[in-house]
Amino acid sequence: MKHLPIILFLIALVLFLSSCNREQESLFEQPAAIRLNEAIYNTDSILVSATNGWIMHYFATNESPGYPILTKFEKTGEVLAAAKNKFSRNKYAESKSLFEIIGDNGPVLSFNSYNNIIHAFSNPENPAGHGQGGDYEFIINNISDSLIKMSGKKTKTSIELYKAPENINWSNLFEQLDNMNNKIIGDDVVYLISGNDTTILSGTNSFVFEIEESQSKQISYLPFIITLNGIKLYEPFETKRKTYVQHFTLSAEGDKLIAESDNQTYITGSNVVDFLISSNQLYEFNLTQTSEHFLSPANLIYEQLHSRYSGNRDVDYLAIGYHNGFGFGFSISTKPTLTIARYQLYLLKQNNQSIKINREPKVFDQNGEIFYNNNTAIEDFWKTLPGTYELKTTLSKNSVTFIDIENELRYFTANKKTIE
């Protein structure tokens, strides 16, 4: 009987632990289900509360370019998505489907019926066999009224939803993104400047920066997406100064992207004068952004050629730039019969922002001579071009404005010409 107290104590201890276990089950299992239901309800409520929808920053993988997608969620369970990218043939397109917030370890946004915009990234037919490697179900990691952070359920790729600005229609929003894209994306390499350190970034026009490590020569990839005020990198980038940067805003002048978290870090390009002289790029005169000094003789060229050929041959464009076998000059291209006439110019660097234009009278190619002898306006336009000009451009160098240093009211603008 001397062991009876011990036996009774052990029985009491077992009963106590069993009671505690039931309390733990009661405390953690049932509330977990309730918390999940509340998270699902909260996520659904926030999604549908955005009256003009959300801008989705979509990256199929952590090495793929970013694509802006507009999404509008309705209480009925429908979602409208819109995009303007290569999958929509670079035209604005919309697609409706269903969505649902489902429960897993947490709330998951599922586009659970086919949506042409969203599923273009997960469809194995784009391209055949393996597709873009993207996702159509996204785990909700963090949520607020203006920003939702998610990750692909299969790919774990980071995806974010930003509340779209009010009082702007979707097609206009894509126009704003296109305008920003035109100011940023060009063929030139760019440079990430952080204090005294410089990192060369190539591949800008693929929306994936390529960074070559100077010693190992290994290449790493840094995807980005165009935003309404600049770009956002897929993930924060650690600079050599041990700061982290991700969001960049285009400067007022349009010539650099400044890190929002570190104003000593920015992305810029080569100086415009060196680019213009060293590239084979052709720039078309933009007669809607040109002073009367150049506009009148340019319009007269159009009129004279039209009159001389009775409308059977017209000027397609006037351009300035480098031509293989001829050097720098201004050129006249005609349509529907394609003929290009070239007239000699010299482009001389003054400094990183200014250039001097000279010409060599009577130096032209064979087509140039034929047009020149029959159209007096060509001489008038040609002799107007010489002068010393300050050059204004954006990071992309898609457009360059030449402003006469001695008379700022005398200027012309030329846009990068794509020859097909």
* Secondary structure (DSSP) of 100-150: EEEESSSEEEE--S--TTTTTTT-TBTTBTTTT---SEEEEEEE-SSEEEE
Q: Determine the Cα–Cα distance for residues 367 and 388; give it in Å rounded to an integer.
A: 28
Q: Determine the Cα–Cα distance for residues 245 and 224; give it in Å rounded to an integer.
A: 12
Strands 256-259 and 387-393: unpaired
pLDDT-above-90 percentage for the chain: 80
Question: CATH classification of 54-167, choosing from 1.10.3470, 1.20.1740, 2.40.128, 2.170.130?
Answer: 2.40.128
Confidence of residue 28 (pLDDT cuts 50, 70, 90): very low
Give the 3-state secondary structure of residue 302. helix
CB neighbour list of residue 245: distance below 8 Å, 6 or more residues apart: 194, 233, 236, 237, 239, 259, 260, 261, 262, 265
Cβ count near 15 (within 10 Å): 10
Is the Cα torsion angle 143, 147, 149, 150 positive or negative in sign?
Answer: positive
Mean pLDDT of 208-230: 91
Looking at residue 356, its pLDDT comes to 97
Q: Determine the Cα–Cα distance for residues 310 and 314; give it in Å rounded to an integer.
A: 9
Give the 3-state secondary structure of residue 237. strand
pLDDT, one tens digit per residue, over 75-91 is 999 999 999 999 999 99
Taking 50 as the threshold, does the pLDDT of residue 20 lie above it? Answer: no
Q: How far is CA 119 from the centre of its chain?
A: 21
Q: Which of 65, 52, 39 is nearest to 146 (CA)?
A: 52
Contacts 24+ apart (CB under 8 A), 322-330: 322/279, 322/280, 322/281, 322/282, 323/282, 324/280, 326/365, 329/364, 330/381, 330/382, 330/385
Confidence of residue 31 (pLDDT cuts 50, 70, 90): confident
Confidence of residue 10 (pLDDT cuts 50, 70, 90): very low
Peptide bond into 5 cis (omega under 30): no
Q: State how far the alpha carbon of 67 is from the alpha carbons of 21, 93, 207, 225, in Å.
A: 50, 14, 9, 6
Looking at residue 213, its pLDDT comes to 80
Q: Which residue stretches of 335-419 are H helix? A: 366-374, 376-382
Lowest mean pLDDT among 5-9, 118-122, 175-179, 286-290: 5-9
Q: Which two tokens stand for residue 280?
A: 């084979």
Taking 90 as the threshold, does the pLDDT of residue 128 lie above it? Answer: no
Mean pLDDT of 206-216: 88
According to DSSP, residue 202 is labeled: B
